[in-house]
Amino acid sequence: MWKEFRSFVMKGNLIQIAVAFIIAVAFGALVKSFVVDIIMPLIGKAVGNVNFSNLYANLSGTVYPSAQAARDAGAAAIYYGTFINFLINFLVIALIMFLIVKAVAKMEKAKVAAAPTTKTCPYCKTDIPIDAVRCPHCTAELPGA
């Protein structure tokens, strides 16, 4: 059983998936920082100095100076500013993944080779048109013609 497990773990696909997962986690952290630390402050400044992480609807009736204070107190609240941050984070990641998948599909499409237009004469070894039934160089009749 141990040998089967080791064989399974050492297969190339599983290792590739693990590496992709680790890169994806790091990429997610990078995008989250980009959204929270760069994009949202710019949007907040554009709409009138709003800090989206402080936007919340307090359901408890007690007044709190910030969303973090309400969280720390365990107050019942809807933290829609944090949701907006995560929504934009998701949209940025989805857009980047779309562009990556589109680029990979384009590269895969370019990889597909065009159908051959020539073949090699089995007698004189010169390239001739694929539809030829007789070699124009050595005049041999080609097999399968």
Going from N- to C-terminal start, the domains of the chain cover 2-110, 113-145
Give how far Cα 85 sits from Cα of 38, 44, 77, 91, 97, Å.
11, 11, 17, 10, 18
- 5 has pLDDT over 80: no
Domain 2-110 fold: 1.10.1200
pLDDT in tens, 93-106: 899 889 988 998 88
Nearest to 76 by CA among 94, 62, 91: 62
Per-residue model confidence (pLDDT) at position 113: 65
Neighbours of 43 (CB within 10 A): 14
Residue identified by tokens 């004189």 is 124
pLDDT of residue 76: 92
Task: Kindly give the pairing relationship between strand 57-58 and strand 77-78.
Answer: antiparallel
Cα 97 to Cα 99: distance, rounded to the nearest angstrom: 5
Task: Give me the pLDDT at residue 85, please.
Answer: 87
Tell me: the pLDDT tens digits for 9-52? Answer: 777 677 778 888 999 899 889 988 988 889 888 988 998 888 88
At residue 130, does pLDDT exceed 60? yes
- Residue-wise pLDDT for 37-94, tens only, equals 898 889 889 988 888 888 899 998 889 988 889 999 999 999 998 898 889 889 988 9
- The larger pLDDT score, comparing residue 117 to residue 111, is at 117
Over 60: is that where the pLDDT of 125 sits? Answer: yes
The mean per-residue pLDDT over the stretch 114-127 comes to 87
Across residues 114-140, what is the average pLDDT?
A: 87
* Residues sharing a CB contact under 8 Å with residue 62, sequence separation 6 or more, in sequence order: 73, 75
Q: Which helix (H) or strand (E) holds 99?
A: helix 80-111
